[in-house]
Amino acid sequence: MVKEREAVEVDMHEHENEGGHDHVHGPDCNHDHDHEHEPGDEHGHEEVDEKEAAAAKLREAIEVGMEEVGTLRKKLTITVPREILDERLDEQYSELKREAIVPGFRRGHAPLKLIEKRFGEEVGDQLLGQLVSSAFLAATEKVEIKPLGDPSVWVEAPAPGSEGSRRVREKTSQLLKITDAMEHMELPATGSMTFTCEVEIRPEFALPELKGIPVNRPKVEVGDDDIQVQIDRMRARRGQYVPVEDAIRIDDMVIADVTQTIDGETVKEAKNVALAARGQQVDGVALPDMGDALAGKRAGTTVKLTATIGEEHSNLVYRGKTTEFTFAIHDVKRIELPEVDAAFLESMGADSEVELREQVRVALEGQLGSLIQRGMRGQIGQYLLDKTELEVPAGVSDRQTERLVARRMIDMYQRGVPEEEIRKRVDELRSEASADAVTELKLFFIMEKIAEKMEIEVADDEMNGAIGRIAAEQGKRFDRVRDELTKRDGVTALYLQLRDDKILDELLTTAVISDIEGPKKRSSARKESKLAEDASDGESGKSAENATETKPRGKSGESKGSGTPAGRGKKKAKS
């Protein structure tokens, strides 16, 4: 199961898989393998004991002041005594003295003063990072709080926007991400080290009744519209964008000059930018309604959009301000689907369109069971959201948003969505994830607590099996997929998805399941498959408590969420 301090420990001490491993480990893996060990490995336990003793000593020695600064947000003032600083410095220099190569001296025989002079700055920077990290973790244990992610640290830093100024840059007190804050911190030459940070913490709450959850199991069949949507998706993979003269439609490509203003001042201009007509992030600002704003417009027109800049924007000065984007549209392009001709049919391995439609029907029917299962899981997830009283931190970090993006990408990888389609939708996913992050975070806390209660874990072979399936779907080698997931925070996202699916499937074993009729009619004008939605919604008109509220599927047909309904708080209009 996910440990209480996993978010901090994963963020601050990111585990990278060693190149020699042909597998990956879940977040809880302690690397107990049947590998052969080199002589001297018996000292490993002694090293662990020494680290635990050092952590306990640090926890006992530090002083911690704590105050409330918002919903589930704490401000910690942490003081590390000089005694601890000196001990850690002595340890660093002693190790350096044994190993450092200094011109004119044999290894291990250079004077300590020379070592300190030569490597002092490097040692100080390294020790500062170690101490801030370990002191923060020790402080959270001492005051018994469960942190969510890395802290932000108060530092004195040059005022934002003064880069390049010839005058002396004025310093102001700023709250920065820990990685940015480290650039403005240093070890004190004398006395103790004190720093102040703020951190979001995990909430305390009670779980609802987990047995007897009402769930609808709809009877859903593959229809002609579903088959046509899948064939159009296959055509779209081979399509190309061509200029059009008519009005913009959702998912069209727009070529426009973009101007961004804040407080009436132009802060950014760009010419001939290619933008998709759908919700996305532009220069770090979420514009979820961009598709609707562009739809219906033509080349030669101008569209204006206003938005509030999020608290995680890279420029501190801009956070919380209203910004306006102006899009001067030059050209409109639309994807042109290839004809279902002999060449296309041959590329699909079919001799006729009838045979192709039958192949697609068989494939969709094979997926139907898993789609219905996903929908039932979604109903369980929605029940948990509706029945759990839970506060979440007021400010959700961009780290949480990026993890949600990673998780939704994992979901699409597992369903065989081509990588080029996923890449085209990254901005849209990020925009949606930013809006859904609070609900997603709430569900994360709920699932984490259930995992602890039910003692549900994900084994290494389950992780490796899931990565192997993704590799097969994408036509890539296992190690390449593993490395890509590691870079994108995908290993954690995959672990959480597998864990949550196991939890939901376990809860389904004790759920009260009702078999119902699925929707009778689908509009042929719909551009996306209704299969997953039918499986999730169960029955038109049911309340959110009994039906999953699934976000619309995108043009390419992929669902925008995972099996759980985090972020699905908006009911869809039924066709």
Provide mean pLDDT across the span 494-498. 92
Provide mean pLDDT across the span 271-287. 89
Element (H, E) at 194: strand 193-201
Residue 9, pLDDT score: 34
Name the more confident of 514 and 415: 514
3 state DSSP class of 524: coil
Name the more confident of 314 and 217: 217
Residue 328, pLDDT score: 97
pLDDT band at 559 (very low <50, low <70, confident <90, very high): very low
Whether pLDDT at 353 is above 90: yes
Whether pLDDT at 544 is above 60: no
3 state DSSP class of 410: helix
**Lowest mean pLDDT: which of 162-171, 246-255, 328-337, 418-427?**
162-171
**Lowest mean pLDDT: which of 9-13, 240-244, 549-553?**
549-553
CA atoms within 13 A on the CB side of 154: 12
Residue 489 has a CB neighbour count (10 Å cut-off) of 20
Element (H, E) at 232: helix 224-236
Angle, helices 490-508/478-487, rounded to nearest 10 degrees: 100
For the chain, give the percent of residues with pLDDT over 70: 72
Mean pLDDT, rounded, of the chain: 78
pLDDT band at 564 (very low <50, low <70, confident <90, very high): very low
Are 395 and 555 in contact, with CB atoms under 8 Å apart?
Answer: no
Cα dihedral sign, 463-469-475-478: positive
Label the pairing between strands 512-517 and 214-219. parallel
Question: Would you state the structure tokens that stand for residue 396, as one six-digit string?
Answer: 């959700």
